[in-house]
Structure 1
Amino acid sequence: MHPIQVLAVTGGKGGVGKTSISVNLSLALAQAGKRVVLMDADLGLANVDILLGVKAPRTIADVMSGDCELRDVLVETHGIKIIPASSGVQSLVNLGAGQHAGIIHAFSDLADELDVLVIDTAAGISDSVVSFVRAAQEVLVVVCDEPSSMTDAYALIKLLNRDCQVRDFRILANMTRKQEEGRLMFQRFSAVAGRFLDVNLHYAGDIPYDENLRKAGQKQRPLLDMYPGSRAADAYRRLAKEVVQWPVRTQASGHLEFFVERLVQGMN
């Protein structure tokens, strides 16, 4: 089995553009030649399918109920495959250990058909978010230049570091207004985290504020598809090139079963 890159996109709070980043980064990775599966891991408030303008006849809830296999819920669109979640299904928000493990074990059938698994987590620091994030190889933390975003991102990193021994995080500045704003934001955040946490923070770059993002959202189309020449679209393509260069583990921990093992361990 070939190594698979498992990337969790998270942010600690809502409103930082996490899902938009998950969607557009997935498209940019696909345009770079990668076979991408995007999992909507917001198990109670799904919106990946909404941003992509697709109707999902089945969702992860159908897999959990035993009505179908994971392969049956895959929706192919814009060159990627998505695993839709279910909006408003409260029972999925508080899954037990066995149910979470069941979701991830279902990926074994897909392992030979993808290069990158992107996980769009829910907002906050619930057990579900922590479980999915700690199971990934790469953790991309999205921050904006506002105090609540910084505070919540710090809380998430602290929790993952303290309770799950996660040490490496990549920080992505979103909705920046000036070219230097993202790096300055990272430097401030890194200075605080470095004083109190035993973590390695890496700057992943920034996505500039772009009015075209709102227009694309209104049309239920991804920015990269509707406005491929926009500043933000260029930034997503640059980010995808960076992600492709990130090392993928080639031993057992580089396979998708590593994601399974880490998730199950986190639930016990």
Structure 2
Amino acid sequence: MILAVTGGKGGVGKTTVALNLAHAIDGVAVDADLGMADLPEGRGPDLHDVLAGRAAPLEAVDESGPVDLLPCGRTLAGARAADPTALVDAVAAVERRYGDVVIDCPAGMSADAGLPLLAADACLLVAAPDAFALPDAIRTRALARVLDAAIERVVLNRAGASPPTGRVRDALGIPVETIPDAAVVDRARQSGRPVAAVAPDSPVADRFRSLAAVVGPDGR
């Protein structure tokens, strides 16, 4: 299964959701943000190298951490040399070897943001839990529909005590899940690890496991 984690703008927590879901389903997290990579860096070739034809996709998967990663490079030269249209085949190769893949998509509505949706079997739409984020989420839903990418859930990240789940569900017509705002999420992100590797018994780790049970391969 290939699951894309997308969103209408940066800063909503797509990378956090992607990394934690990949850990929960024992899959590979792919950093497909060619210009602004955010998943932890690897120790060898990266997605820039793969898309430039300098490395095979499986060579670039880093298995040294708590989550298997296909990281992306962080240089402008690497981004310019990469052929984004090769992404679909690269992700398919990783899926054939590892079984499950979670793609951390670029933010926005560019062509680069659409390509991971073409590769995916399904996607999650991550949004901030406020009214200002809703128009971006609606535009992202429209892009996913054009590309025939099924949005399984909207995830309101860093949600407070009273997230607008009903309003978002009514506006988008998609079931809504929430990830609470908690200090352990920041601690895990700063260490480049999933929450379950930092605080396995925390409510946030349980929430990510519950989300994975719904949208992961066993829940579809």
Counterpart in the other structure of 1:143: 127
| Closer/same/farther in 2, CA of residues 102 and 166 from structure 1, 3 Å limit | closer
The separation in 2 between residues aligned to 1:68 and 1:166, in whole angstroms, is 28
Q: Is the Cα contact below 8 Å between 1:28 and 1:240 reproduced in 2? A: yes
Distance of 1:19 and 1:93 partners within structure 2: 22
Q: 1:68 aligns with which of 34, 42, 55?
A: 55
Change (3 A) 1:103 1:130: closer
Check whether the contact 1:43–1:93 (CA below 8 A) recurs between aligned residues: no
2:65 and 2:149 map into 1 onto residues whose CA distance is 33
> What do the CA deviations read for 1:32-57 (whole angstroms, capped 9, x no partner)?
xxxx11110111111211xxxx5432
Does residue 125 (structure 1) correspond to residue 123 (structure 2)? The answer is no
Higher normalized contact order (CA 8 Å, seq sep 6+, divided by chain length): 1
Structure 1: how far apart are the matches of 2:90 and 2:187? 36
CA distance, structure 1, for counterparts of residue 174 and residue 100 of structure 2: 22
Structure 2 stretches lacking a partner, 5+ long: none
The residue number in structure 2 matching 1:29 is 25
The residue matched to 1:125 in structure 2 has which SS? coil
Give the 3-state SS of the residue equivalent to 1:75 in structure 2: coil
| Structure 1: stretches of 5+ with no match in the other structure | 31-35, 194-199, 248-268
Confirm or deny that 1:86 pairs with 2:73: yes
1:88 Cα deviation after fit: 3.6
Q: Does 1:189 align with 2:168?
A: yes
For the residues of structure 1 that align with 2:151 and 2:113, how far apart are their CA atoms? 17
Q: 1:173 to 1:69 in 2, by over 3 A?
A: same
Q: Give distance in 2, aligned partners of 1:108 and 1:133.
A: 12
3-state DSSP class of the match of 2:25?
helix
The whole-number CA distance in structure 1 between the counterparts of 2:80 and 2:141 is 21
Secondary structure of 2:189's aligned partner: helix
The answer as to 2:20 corresponding to 1:18 is: no
Residues 154-201 of structure 1 deviation map (CA, whole Å, 9 limit, x = unaligned): 12112333x4354644211211222xx34xx232123234xxxxxx52
Match of 1:202, as an amino acid? P
Change (3 A) 1:119 1:215: same
CA contact (8 A) 2:49 2:78 kept: no
Counterpart AA for 1:39:
V
Does residue 202 (structure 1) correspond to residue 202 (structure 2)? The answer is no
* 2:186 matched residue in structure 1: 214
The aligned residue for residue 198 of structure 2 is 226
Change (3 A) 1:151 1:90: farther
Query: How far 1:132 moved relative to its partner?
Result: 1.2
Q: Relative to structure 1, is the Cα distance of residues 167 and 146 closer, same or farther in structure 2, using a 3 angstrom cutoff?
A: same
Match of 2:158? 175
> Residues of 1 paired with 2:109 and 2:219: CA distance?
26
Match of 2:32 among 20, 37, 41: 41
RMSD (CA atoms):
2.4
Q: SS at 2:153's partner residue?
A: strand
Q: Are 1:154 and 2:138 an aligned pair?
A: yes
Matched, 1:59 2:42: no
Number of residues of Structure 1 aligned to a counterpart in Structure 2: 219
The structural deviation recorded for 1:92 is 2.9
The normalised TM-score by structure 2 is 0.87
SS state of the match for residue 174, structure 2?
Answer: strand
User: What corresponds to 2:210 in structure 1?
Assistant: 238
More helix by share: 1
Q: Is the 8 A contact 2:141 2:151 kept in 1?
A: no
Larger Cα-atom Rg: 1
Cα distance, 1:240 vs. partner? 1.6
Report deviation, 1:9: 0.4
Q: Deviation of residue 93 (structure 1)?
A: 6.8
